Amino acid sequence: MKQQIAKILHHHKKKKITDENLRASAVLIPLFCNQGQYHVLLTERSEEVNFHKGQVCFPGGTREPSDASLLQTALREAEEEIGLTAQDVEILGEFDDSVTLTSNYVISPFVAFIPHPYPFKADDREIKEIFSVPLSFLMDEANFRQDSCEYEYDGHIIWGATAGILKQFIDLLKSESGALQ
C-alpha cells in the first residue's frame, strides 16, 4: 500500500497557495503499518502553546527563516514536537495546500512513512498526547461528519484544518485508487 500511496501522490498535481498575507507552514502526515493495518499518526496539542490549544493536529508548524524548504519545516517540527528524526522518515509525497481561516496559515502537507514501533519523545510543552487512527477508519465515509467537518475517534475530536487535510487526503486516495484499503 505504501507504494500505491506514493504513486498516487507522485501523479497528483499539487494545488499551491501563494499569498503574502498568509504565514507559510508545513505538516508531516506520518503513516505506519502495525499488524498489516495502516495508521495515521496525530498529536493533541497542549494548553501551553500559542495557537490551536488542545486541538488534534499533525506534527508541524511555521516555516522559520533557517528552513531551506517547507519539507525541512515539517521534518524539523516533527523532531521538535515528537522526537521523530528525519533519517527515520520516508517521504511519500505531498498534496494540496490548505488555509486556516482563523490563524492565517497556509499549510503544506507532506505524507511520510515511518517505522513502527517508534520511540517517540513528546515535547511536553507543545504536545499532550501522540495517538493514531487506522486509515481504514478514515476511509469509511460513515465516520466523517459532513455537517461539522469532523471525525471522532477514541475520544478525540479531529476537526478544523486537520480534518480538512485528512478528508482531502482520503478523497485523493479513493479517487485515484478505487478500492485502496
Residue 49: is its pLDDT beyond 80? no
Taking a C-beta distance cutoff of 8 angstroms, is the pair 51, 142 a contact?
Answer: no
3-state helix, strand, coil in the chain (%, to 5): 30, 35, 40
The CATH architecture of the domain made up of 2-134 is Alpha-Beta Complex (3.90)
What is the band of 50 on the pLDDT scale with cuts at 50, 70, 90? low
Q: Which residue type does 53 have?
A: K
Nearest CA to 24 out of 67, 55, 58 is that of 67
CA quadruple 105, 109, 114, 117: dihedral positive or negative? Answer: positive
- 3-7, 60-64, 99-103: segment of lowest average pLDDT: 99-103
Q: Cell numbers at residue 83, please?
A: 522526537
What is the band of 11 on the pLDDT scale with cuts at 50, 70, 90? very high
Give 123-146 pLDDT, tens digit per residue. Answer: 999 999 999 999 999 999 999 999
Cα(49)–Cα(75) distance, rounded to whole angstroms? 19
The average confidence (pLDDT) of the chain is 93
> What pLDDT does residue 179 have?
41
Report domain extents, the chain. Answer: 2-134
Mean pLDDT over 37-58 rounds to 83
